[in-house]
Structure 1
């Protein structure tokens, strides 16, 4: 397997790209605080090279997540457009209105359903499909807490729409289960799953549409760089779209790609990628300029 090229900073390759499709959670913040060096790198790219489009597997619409970014101290000048899995998933949900939909997830994700005209279902017995954004209490619950309930849905052959394909994210110093882990469980029970976020095509269609608007012309895909720490979401999504990728090898992977000298070990980074049969052209431990 070809090893990713270890970068000293984004500035090494900034001139090669017009558009960055940059992941959010795990690259520019950890759910508790933003990382100034990563934000500065994106701001400097915006200032002198091209445009940053944030592309997140958040299950909420992007308009609802901007306040979260502001609250975490992510500067507005570090990005030019923002698309989420929630934006892409709303299109899937609208096709299935009025449902009824058996909705699983925390109250904070309810903006996903605003204006769609979906009727809520009490459970598998009276639902037309299932919509999952994540655990109801992601601080304490695990996917196995939902096994019995999801088994009932699979037995009725209900389709599950998952608004967040991430399996886990880093919140502070903890890893938190996400909607993608419930989708994995549902598939293991024989259920049908539909997802529109990374690594699937709909969210990239939205992001590249935003990029074309920013450029004022069609996007040259050879000058688009995807940045992210999720192998089965960010890196696989870039591979599926035939786009270059910068793998942020720390993030949810901890020190797995760090060598004895404390720097990125390309071979260890490649091992993380190889586990999911993916490839990244470039790699860094953390995003910096």
Structure 2
């Protein structure tokens, strides 16, 4: 435990760290906004990084296509000057649906998420007609639990239907509330023996889209792994994805792990060590919030 306490610096300011990188791949929910409004210090950091010539790619497990999520960021007052490109789980989901060659989709999620299917050669159908399940959220994540979906998921698993998880997050903070995401449904589906395609972090397809966006911003020049920093608040997705790709990571302790890592508004070294304990690769630093 002591090694963890001394090996992961806890920073107040990110400026000196960010000077080492050309590209930032940043999580959105929990880093750039809190589910309700933009986190202004974080947006200022990203804006300054871009003004110095760096590229910022926002990589989100939001299930909507990037055009839709961009408008959501606008509504939350995230300035366009804080980012160059946006890649979402919705973008990856659309690719997976097209590659699946299935056309009758049973959708689990909000009605507004159905923009995801626009322009695809699919039909949204009821349970009896489906040959593919796509989950973007729970239908009502404030009033439902993932376990309530077990009977439905069990019937789909018995039929051997493929399942695309359009948001691999298990939970998300909305203000002070911790609410379930589609990843929690996908975990149940795998437990039932079903086959799941995960559309987003920490899986490689999402990062490959982000890298392609970064290369485009750099005039087609590829990006060295040592010059990419992943910023995120989730051990299971952000830190794991960075490790998979060979990128450095900056852990935002005040996000979804804040009940474990924060005390009195400050990062608690003991709590931080517990959350990071056992990781094969540690983040290069931790912060309460990007600032």
TM-score band, normalised by the shorter chain? Answer: over 0.9
Question: How many residues matched?
Answer: 286
Deviation at 1:266, TM superposition (A): 3.9
Equivalent-residue separation in structure 2 for 1:246 and 1:237 (angstroms)? 12
Output aligned runs, 1:126-165, within 5 Å: 126-165=129-168
Paired position in structure 2 for 1:229: 233
Paired position in structure 1 for 2:12: 8
Superposed CA RMSD: 1.6
Deviation at 1:218, TM superposition (A): 1.1
Deviation at 1:120, TM superposition (A): 2.1
Output aligned runs, 1:250-261, within 5 Å: 250-258=254-262
Paired position in structure 2 for 1:177: 180
Deviation at 1:99, TM superposition (A): 2.2
Deviation at 1:267, TM superposition (A): 4.2
Paired position in structure 2 for 1:268: 271
Unpaired segments ≥5 residues, structure 2: none
Asked if structure 2 preserves the Cα contact closer than 8 Å seen for 1:227 and 1:234, the reply is yes
Paired position in structure 1 for 2:113: 109
SS at the partner of 1:13?
Answer: helix
Asked if structure 2 preserves the Cα contact closer than 8 Å seen for 1:97 and 1:117, the reply is no
Q: Deviations over 1:129-162 (max 9, x none)?
A: 2111010111111101101100101111111100
SS at the partner of 1:144?
Answer: helix
- TM norm structure 2: 0.94
Q: Deviations over 1:69-109 (max 9, x none)?
A: 11111011000111001111111001124421111111111
Match of 2:214 among 211, 216, 219: 211
SS at the partner of 2:261?
Answer: coil
Asked if structure 1 preserves the Cα contact closer than 8 Å seen for 2:203 and 2:241, the reply is yes
Equivalent-residue separation in structure 2 for 1:46 and 1:207 (angstroms)? 16
Asked if structure 1 preserves the Cα contact closer than 8 Å seen for 2:102 and 2:131, the reply is no
Equivalent-residue separation in structure 1 for 2:126 and 2:74 (angstroms)? 35
Equivalent-residue separation in structure 2 for 1:272 and 1:108 (angstroms)? 34
Output aligned runs, 1:233-252, within 5 Å: 233-252=237-256
The runs of 4+ residues in structure 1 deviating greater than 6 Å are none
Unpaired segments ≥5 residues, structure 1: none
Deviation at 1:271, TM superposition (A): 1.7
Asked if structure 1 preserves the Cα contact closer than 8 Å seen for 2:62 and 2:88, the reply is yes
Asked if structure 2 preserves the Cα contact closer than 8 Å seen for 1:5 and 1:266, the reply is no
Instruction: Report whether the alignment pairs 1:39 with 2:43.
Output: yes
Query: Closer, same or farther in 2 for the Cα pair 1:133/1:43, shift >3 Å?
Result: same
